[in-house]
Amino acid sequence: MKYSMTTVSWVLICAALVFFMQAGFALCEAGLTRAKNTGNILMKNMMDFCIGTPCFWLVGFGLMFGGTGALIGHFDPLILGKYTAANSVVPQNMPLWCYVIFQTVFCATAATIVSGSMAERTNFKAYCIYSAAISLLVYPISGHWIWGGGWLGQLGFHDFAGSTCVHMVGGIIACLGAAMLGPRIGKYGKDGKARAIPGHSMTACALGVFILWFCWFGFNGGSTVAMDTNANAASASIVFMNTNLAAAVATVVAMIFTWVRYGKPDVSMTFNAALAGLVAITAPCDAVTPVGAFFIGLVAGFIVVLSVEFFDNVAKIDDPVGAVSVHMVNGIWGTIAVGLFSTGADGVGKGLFYGGGVHQLGVQALGVVSVAVYVLVIMFVVFKIIDKTVGLRVPAQIEIDGLDIHEHGLASAYSGFAISDVTDMGLEANENTDLGEDEYEKATPAQIDAAVKVTKEPELVSGGPVEAHKVVIICRLSKFDALKRALNQLGVSGMTIIQVMGCGIQKGSTERYRGATVDSTLLPKVKVEVVVSSIPVDDVIETAKKALFTGHIGDGKIFVYDVHRVVKVRTGEEGPKALMDVE
């Protein structure tokens, strides 16, 4: 048999791109969860691919593509059977193993979606078991209905690259698993309100999303499974265009929507929206125009935000990374969108907005419901069996300490780095911390004292006169350079600087993370210590006040201590001379 080298090269390259999505999922998921679970997250994203690959080879591929029966393919261990045009839908313009590896990376993608929603409290053994179950039974059978010649495909159900087959399946399992696990410790207060548990690295999250976006061109574009004719080239081109446009529009919409809704554009939600747009366009990307892709992305940008809020605040399903909203909700939306926006290209029935009536829309809705029911029933049984045997969730103390140390013996995924759980790094003054004046020269002494408080506390050391004063200044990190310059100009040349975390009641804090109010009050601060003798301590205080003052609560605090004895170690000098660096 003569194969198309262009097609084979195209499919293999796209398979490699889809494999690299595992890196994107790993980074995105790790970034949106806490540092103490990073090693566990990375292990899960590695192992679901490595477990899924042999499972799909042993059983899954045969069940999905072995024959054209309505409900299930053939049991074909190790893929030893013949897959011809007469007995399967496997393309004949490429070697069988080319198509197998392409479908394998898709199967692994469905399995990895589940990891994010169940993060930070799932037993690692349980994860390995249900990851295998997804690749062995769940994905292959529902996939057969859609792509393997099964009954949904025969009805005309259209899912070009997997909004339902991959993303909705993974998203439904993610939703069910998160619901059965229950929320993370501390996610909900006694009043039932959701608390924000911010991820530890927006950098990792962003890099993961960029990788996923890049790889999605292989995910959607490669689903042409051919590149040997002008028609194939045209199809791949419109798929690329629609994929990019929908993702971009969804991202912009979510940015604006969260900006209006929360007062500031939400970073993690905006990045989630990019993935939501990609998921939504995956089913209809070959059958819609760029105009249709624009509106599909526009709706995706809105519904991902509203969905995250719904599952957090109404359904009370704790989904740390938004996998349910991105993959399940937008997988459903993308599948339904075929029945609305399809232009009738590539033999797909026309959508409602293009004069096709409700037929295609009804077929798409039937596919969503039937796949959802099948996946929910099978995975409920799987989760229940796992829970009764090895246990689905880790004990509370393990969850509190972090899965890395208990599940993997990894003290930290960031050995050598200082990790601070700062959940409100960007908190600045808001309307309730304004003390009435933001210019030092115009402010009254009372306003200055309220913003930069000074406390004089005599050192509890008996005997001897006061030789010097130690001034301890706690201030905003952003104000340190101004303070240092001002003190240097005053003549203060020696100072000790320590980065610390300040904790205080920040009145009126309304910062949000993924729609939930952030209630932590830890703020990055700098602690500056200087000891002065010849320089009047009051001059140091006034200089510091002037440098630090913005007119808002949290400008800083100054503590003054009496120093009864100063000794320079190098020379043995004591008193004021010990503070001088002159030889």
Averaged over successive runs of 10 residues, the pLDDT of the chain (583 residues) comes to 91 97 96 94 95 95 91 92 91 95 94 93 96 94 95 96 96 96 91 89 96 97 95 96 98 97 94 98 97 98 97 95 96 98 90 95 97 97 96 93 93 78 38 63 80 72 70 87 90 83 56 65 78 88 90 83 82 74 47
Q: Give pLDDT, residue 277.
A: 98
Q: Give pLDDT, residue 494.
A: 80
Q: Let me know: does 243 contact 278? Beta carbons within 8 Å.
A: yes
Give me the torsion for CA of 413, 415, 418, 424, rounded to 10°.
0
Residue type, 216: W
| Residue that is written with structure tokens 């929910």 in the block | 376
Q: Let me know: does 342 contact 284? Beta carbons within 8 Å.
A: yes
Pairing of strands 512-513, 522-532: unpaired
CA–CA dist 377, 442 (Å, integer): 69
CA–CA dist 300, 427 (Å, integer): 29
Q: Give pLDDT, residue 440.
A: 80
Nearest CA to 263 out of 513, 557, 488, 532 is that of: 513
| Residue that is written with structure tokens 């001002």 in the block | 486
Q: Give pLDDT, residue 461.
A: 53
Alpha helices, H only, 424-467: 445-451
| Residue that is written with structure tokens 């990894």 in the block | 410
Q: Let me know: does 320 contact 27? Beta carbons within 8 Å.
A: no
The dihedrals phi and psi of 424, each to the nearest 5 degrees, come to -140, 45
Q: Let me know: does 79 contact 54? Beta carbons within 8 Å.
A: no
Chain CA centroid to CA 106, Å: 21
User: 490: exposed, middle or buried (C-beta count within 10 Å: 0-12, 13-18, 19+)?
Assistant: middle
pTM score of the predicted model: 0.79
Q: Give pLDDT, residue 497.
A: 86
From the CB of residue 261, how many other CB atoms can be counted at a distance below 10 Å?
17
Length of the chain as a residue count: 583
Structure tokens at 525: 């601060």
Q: What is the DSSP string of 342-365?
A: ---GGGPPPPGGGT-TTHHHHHHH
How is residue 397 annotated by DSSP? H
